[in-house]
Structure formats: structure tokens, C-alpha cells
Amino acid sequence: MAPLTERPRHVALDFEAEFRRAHTSLWLIAAGIVLHRSDADDVVQEAAIIGLQKLGSFQPGTSFRAWMGEIVRNVALNHRRGERRRARRFGVRVDVHETPIAGRPDRPEGTGLGGGAGGAEGVGGAAGSLEGLREHLDDHLAHALQALDPIVRTCVLLRCVEGLSYRDISQLMAIPEGTAMSHVFRGRGTLATALTAAKSRAGQMINRPQRGGETKS
């Protein structure tokens, strides 16, 4: 007698193939919300586990990416809320194995705009430490990213990094297409300004005359 719970093999195979196809979008959603590389990896994997468990609720013929996108969004937002809750209680990240990420005097924490979709209340410190991402970003751009609402930030990433259409972004983020476009324009404008400011500051530093008599041994 065959075990009662033996699932059709093609279901698992389909999930894996579909998941691989959607992975970039899903990872960007997670990274956009939690702003932390390994957290994003965790979120995506957690979402995959949930997706597998809830595979029966997926409607064939609908967008798998959108279905998984919703799961990833929820897991990421829950993760973010959990991190904030922890930070409020303990003041720092308290992962047993993790060294808290040092704050920077020129990078104020908790400067998020907040209040956006998904209940974001602010970033920095509790979430969005940019761990695993910061090394590739200019400081000003990193700070601007942290200050963006996570949903806005995610829309920007889906557009700029993956090049998704606004229709796809609206489907993935469960927002109207016009809102997706507005989010992208607004977020990208903020980030571009930060990047320009960074370049401008870099130019000033280069042009600044050196103080006389200051030598390094």
C-alpha cells in the first residue's frame, strides 16, 4: 500500500522550477524590506518552506511569482517587526552569534520615513543594517536606502535591478500600477540625489587643499 501522504512528484519539481525562476524577484523583495543580506536569504528560505507547506492553496493558472511574493513579503515584514521589537527591548540586535553592527557617527540610526505600506515605522538599528550590502554602496546612498520606506525601496530594486515592468511590480507588491510607478520615481529620485551629493562631496574632498605641516609618518 502506498503511503497516504506521498505527494505527486511533479508538484515538488514544479515548485522547484518555478521557485528558481522567481527567485531574483523574491530575494529582492526580501532584501528590500529587511535590508540585510543574510536576513534576506533566511526570509526567502523560510518563505520557500511555507510555500511548500501551502502549495495546495496555490491556484494553477495564476502567477506563482505573485503568490510566493506575497509569502515573502509577509515573512519579511514579520521578520522586520520582530527585529524592531527586539531592538526596542534590548537596544541592539541580540543574536547569540552575531556581533552587533557598529553604528556610525555620520549615519544616524532610526531615521526612517516610516508609516508606509506594510507598517514600516522606521529603519536603522532594528532592521536594515545593510549587512552584506554596505560594502558595495557609497555611504550617502546607503543612508538614503535606509531612510526609504521599505516598500518604496523594494519597488526601486525590482525596477532598477531586475528591470521588472510596473505591472509586474504592482502584482508582486500588491499595489496599483500607478502607485508602483510613483514609488519607483520617488525612491529613485531620492537615491539619485544622494548619489549626486556623494559625488559632489567627493569632488570637494579632492579639491580641498591640504593643511600645511601635516605629515604622516
List residues near other proteins by CB under 8 A: 3-7, 12, 15-16, 19-20, 23-24, 27-28, 31-32, 37-42, 44-46, 48-49, 52-53, 79, 82, 85-86, 89-91, 94-98, 133-134, 136-138, 141, 156-157, 159-161, 163, 165, 181, 184-185, 188-189, 191-192, 195-196
Task: Quote the least distance from Cβ 2 to other proteins, whole Å.
Answer: 10
30 or 117, CB closer to other proteins?
A: 30
Task: Quote the least distance from Cβ 93 to other proteins, whole Å.
Answer: 9
Q: Which residue has the cell 505573485?
A: 66
Measured CA to CA, the distance from residue 51 to residue 28 in angstroms comes to 17
Let me know the angle formed at the C-alpha of 165 by 33 and 73, rounded to the nearest 5 degrees: 25
CB atoms within 10 A of CB 23: 14
Task: Quote the least distance from Cβ 109 to other proteins, whole Å.
Answer: 19
6 or 214, CB closer to other proteins?
A: 6
Task: Quote the least distance from Cβ 94 to other proteins, whole Å.
Answer: 5
Q: Which residue has the cell 517587526?
A: 81
5 or 217, CB closer to other proteins?
A: 5
Cα 69 to the center of its chain, rounded Å: 13
Q: Which three cell numbers stand for residue 172?
A: 508582486
107: phi then psi, degrees, rounded to nearest 5? -130, 85
Task: Quote the least distance from Cβ 87 to other proteins, whole Å.
Answer: 10
- Contacting residues for 193 by C-beta, under 8 A, at least 6 apart: 144
